[in-house]
Structure 1
Amino acid sequence: MEDMLVKPQVNSDEVFKLLEELFKEPVERIEEAPTGKIKRVYFFQYKDKKYVIRFSDNDMEFKLEKYVQETLQGEKFPLPNLLYSGIYNNFYYAISEKVEGKPIHTLKEKELKVAMPSVMEALIKLHSIDITAYEGYGWLDYNMKGTFNTFIEFLQCFFSEDQEGFWQGWYELFKESFLDYDIFSKLYEKMMELAEYCEGRRYLVHADFHYNNIIINNSRIEGVIDWGKVSYCDYIFDIATLILEFPDYNLLEEFHTFYKERKFDTSNFIERFLCAALCNSLDGMRFWAKLGRQDAYKSILDNILIILNKYDVTI
């Protein structure tokens, strides 16, 4: 869904003009943040506090963020406070408090282990949100309903040949890049075979729970950002994303014990994890193939093959 969007063209002078209209006193230190292909992001300071303003050509992420913020009201969840949102020059914008700290992917093993309890507590609060009022699986629509009737439909659509935006024509990668059709197809088939274990399990998931999106400060999770991929599916997908970030740290058993002790459904935990790990890996493989990064592609492929071998799964 995000991949259909285009990064807005908004310069610092325009940002200053907008902020001048919104705030009673002058803002300071406006600087553009390094971001991906979807949003334009600037940092700024107002009355000795730091803030972030994000621009997008679609307001869905900001609506999702507001939905999560309102749903978790009263809970101690590390979601940056969303202060303003609106439209400027045909682009949507949102202003929130800036989270200070280090992205989780920069942590050493010892730092990660100290911070992990707070990360797990944050995740389980998210996965405990009651979504029984909303139907469906996969990406959310403007009514906060899932856009697919079943989880398997969602998974099939995610990797379908017919795509728009960033993934339009992605099957050409099998001919024009190092993306290997045979191995990709075998991994896809195994993922779909395991998908039955995830069917019927509906939780609110962040769906991009790793890398720069988890900010750690003083050995605790300080903020979870980038809510553009929020979905309804098995909570194991958030866990798998984080575990694949740190493949050598043996986190799966810790998560299994943690969720089981808190009375979550942990049946077929390994099968569900493998389905999510395959989905994440296949998406990463095609992404790096599109960007021409064979080293990153090979690293992901090697890692998922090691995981499958560890659990005696043949493809």
Structure 2
Amino acid sequence: MTAYEKPEVAMNDIESLLRSQLGPGAVEITPMDGGNMSNVYSFRIADQGFVVKFSDLDGAYATDQFVSNLLSGHDIPFPRCLASGQFGLLNYIIMERMQGHNLSECSMEEQEQQLPELFRLLTNLANVDIRSTNGYGWIGSDGNGAYGSWRDFVAAAYAEDQTGTFWENWHDLFQTTFLERDIFEEVYNRLMSWLTYNESNRSFVHGDFHQWNVLSDGTRITGIIDGNCMYGDPVVDLAVLDRHMPWMGMIETYENYLAKENIVIPYLRERLIGAYYYKGLDGLRFYAKMGWKDAYDETRAFLLNLKSY
């Protein structure tokens, strides 16, 4: 199995799409870095900035409009969706462009100074009102989760049959890449044991909350983008943040924040272990598919050494 390649889009096709959806006036159409699953372009109309994304994956962007509406009014800087749909064989979405640059571009000192605001946003995301929805796992276009329980979702996420998704035929990775079946199965068994602590918690989860999906102006957080949004244990977002910024002493700093704000999260450390296994296992097969051996080896070592705090 070869590494996933994002679809190519001709500039005249992009111009045609933007003209049909937003009228004339789109200028400075520029490809953007990042986006493992999408080709992303920025553009301007008058003095406003926007982005358009393209993907050839089935169902791409189906829930983005719902999530954008869901997060509005919760003091969460998430981009507004203007249009989405099919463009030839591709899916597209047009959203407003949030101000700022990736948090990863800030100095270490600037990143550390913004940790309290990151933690506040984690709290706001977890407190979004989802009482009108049901289910766990990936959020569908109807706003509901696809599974009856977190355990069912995790089992389905790592099942062999993933027809019609990014992970179709993913078991081929055991033969065609450096993905090791015995290591994968060991981590999966640990995951299924520890998720007992996670499965009773149901909140909104961004699913990819790290410094490349958080925007900043250097002193404050200006935007959150590109979620793999789901319903489940919000501690998943904390685990992602910690694994992408391990030099920050994230968990201890977060616990100090909780104490200062008088926020109690039951079984935080135990839930973190389940979240690490869940995200880490997905990381192993993703890094294998993309051919990122160093990231695979680092994640493999972390997971195998993760037994308890």
TM-score (norm 2): 0.87
Corresponding position of 2:236: 237
Do the aligned residues in 2 keep the contact of 1:82 with 1:96 (CA within 8 Å)?
yes
| SS at structure 2 position matched to 1:166 | coil
Corresponding position of 2:210: 210
Q: How many Å separate the matches in 2 of 1:19 and 1:290?
A: 32
Do the aligned residues in 2 keep the contact of 1:195 with 1:272 (CA within 8 Å)?
yes
Q: Which amino acid aligns with 1:160?
A: A
Q: Cα deviation per residue 1:24-58 (whole Å; 9 max; x = unaligned)? A: 55322112223445323221122133221223457
Do the aligned residues in 1 keep the contact of 2:191 with 2:278 (CA within 8 Å)?
yes
Compared with structure 1, are the counterparts of its residues 61 and 217 closer, same or farther at alpha carbon in structure 2 (3 Å cutoff)? farther
Query: Shift of the alpha carbon at 1:91?
Result: 4.3
Q: How many Å separate the matches in 1 of 2:257 and 2:5?
A: 39
Do the aligned residues in 2 keep the contact of 1:80 with 1:96 (CA within 8 Å)?
yes
**Matched residue pairs, number?**
305
Q: How many Å separate the matches in 2 of 1:199 and 1:265?
A: 18
Q: Which amino acid aligns with 1:295?
A: D
Do the aligned residues in 2 keep the contact of 1:80 with 1:97 (CA within 8 Å)?
yes
Corresponding position of 1:275: 274
TM-score (norm 1): 0.85
Q: Cα deviation per residue 1:63-98 (whole Å; 9 max; x = unaligned)? A: 533323323333331112323345544644332222
Compared with structure 1, are the counterparts of its residues 285 and 23 closer, same or farther at alpha carbon in structure 2 (3 Å cutoff)? closer
Matches within 5 A, 1:28-177: 28-56=27-55, 62=61, 64-89=63-88, 91-164=90-163, 165-177=165-177
Q: How many Å separate the matches in 2 of 1:157 and 1:269?
A: 25
**Which sections of structure 2, spanning at least 5 residues, go unmatched?**
none
Choose 281-290 or 73-82, whichever is displaced more: 73-82
Q: Which amino acid aligns with 1:138?
A: G
Corresponding position of 2:13: 14
Query: Shift of the alpha carbon at 1:62?
Result: 4.3
Query: Shift of the alpha carbon at 1:145?
Result: 1.3
Query: Shift of the alpha carbon at 1:138?
Result: 0.5
**Which sections of structure 1, spanning at least 5 residues, go unmatched?**
none
Q: Cα deviation per residue 1:247-289 (whole Å; 9 max; x = unaligned)? A: 2321112323444665665111111101111111111112222
Choose 215-224 or 234-243, whichever is displaced more: 215-224
